[in-house]
Amino acid sequence: MNNLRYLIDFDTDKVEHEYCDVLIIGSGIAGVYTALEIPEEYNVVIITKDCIDISNSVLAQGGIAVSLDEGDSPELHFKDTIYAGAGLCDEQSVWVLVNEAAANIDCLCNFGVQFDKKSNEELSLTREGAHSKNRIIHAGDTTGKEVCDKLISVVETRKNIKIKERNFALDLLTESGVCKGVLAYDETKSVVKVYISDFVVCATGGFGQLYENTTNPEIATGDGTALAYRAGCELMDMEFIQFHPTVLYHTENKSFLISEAVRGEGALLKNINGERFMPRYHELNELAPRDIVSRAIFEEMKRTKSSHVYLDITFKGKEYLENRFPNIYKTCLSYGIDISKDYIPVAPAEHYCMGGIRTDISGRTNISGFYACGEAACNGIHGANRLASNSLLEGLVFGQRIGNEVSNLLRNGPAKKSGLMMKFVSNNITKAIDREVIRENLKKIMTKNVGIVRDRESLIYALEQVDEYNKTIENMKNESIRDYELQNLVLISKLVIESALEREESRGAHFRSDFDKTDDIEWRRNIVKKRGTLNA
Catalytic residue among 127, 230, 290, 531: 290
User: Is 252 in a helix, a strand, or coil?
Assistant: coil
Distance from C-alpha of 203 to C-alpha of 52, rounded to nearest angstrom: 12
Contact (Cβ atoms closer than 8 angstroms) between residue 278 and residue 327? no
Nearest to 298 by CA among 234, 364, 245: 245
* Beta bridge partners of residue 23, listed in sequence order: 45, 200
Q: What share of the chain is helix, strand, coil (3-state, %, to 5)?
A: 35, 20, 45
* Beta bridge partners of residue 350, listed in sequence order: 214, 243
How far the first Cα of the chain sits from its last, in Å, is 8
Which residues are within 8 A (CB) of 290 and not within 5 positions of it... i.e. 6 or more apart? 84, 129, 130, 242, 243, 244, 245, 260, 351, 385, 386, 388, 509
Contact (Cβ atoms closer than 8 angstroms) between residue 37 and residue 373? no
- Altogether, the residues listed in the chain come to a count of 536
290 tagged catalytic = yes
Distance from C-alpha of 226 to C-alpha of 229, rounded to nearest angstrom: 5
The 8-class DSSP code of residue 387 comes to P
* Beta bridge partners of residue 328, listed in sequence order: none
Residues designated as active site:
290
